[in-house]
Structure 1
Amino acid sequence: MGTATGLDLQQQAIDGALALDEVSEAVLRCTKCAHPGQCGKLLATDSIASISPPDYCRNRDLLDYLHEQTI
């Protein structure tokens, strides 16, 4: 979801905006998603980069925060 919305979490960690541990935690949260089918369909669309992660995204707060920091 991070990549699809225009974020490179690895680069965010390298730049110091995100702890490496948080990248691992984000991946783990993603693997525990209750809506993998819906998420897969959303990620398959071309327009995802222009929208915010869906309400059910377990990493939404993190991704929104990182987007705000890049503005």
Structure 2
Amino acid sequence: MSGQSKYDEHTELVEKMAAVLGVDLTEEAMAGNWTPEDMQATVSRCLGCTDPAHCKGWLEDQQEDAAHAPGYCRNKDLLEAMRTRLVSA
């Protein structure tokens, strides 16, 4: 892996997936709704993905905010719940 650790790669995927869904993890952390432990658990789930290249491709294809994460995303339920909470607020 060219200079980027697998953990860093999946951290980036989590951050991009959240952003595509309209969830700003930095804002969530500042509001006290997202902790470093939450991020670690989310990245750990992402690390279990068997095809991160497919996820990267899906993320690159997104032109606007996506309504849903792809079905194979191990953090789909979590990120969509965050999105729903933010939209409802």
Per the alignment, in what secondary structure is the counterpart of residue 50 of structure 1?
coil
Q: Which amino acid aligns with 1:67?
A: R
Unaligned segments of structure 1, at least 5 residues:
none
Q: Which has a greater percent of helix?
A: 2
- The Cα shift of 1:68 comes to 1.0
SS of aligned partner of 2:18: coil
1:12 matched to which residue of 2?
28
User: Kindly, what percent of the aligned residue pairs are identical?
Assistant: 30
Q: How many residues align?
A: 71
Is residue 39 from structure 1 mapped to residue 66 from structure 2 by the alignment? no
CA RMSD of aligned residues (A): 1.7
User: Structure 1 segments of 4 or more deviating over 3 A?
Assistant: none
| 1:13–1:23 Cα contact (<8 Å) kept | no
Distance change >3 Å, CA 67–CA 26, structure 1 → 2: same
- Gaps of at least 5 residues in structure 2 are 1-16
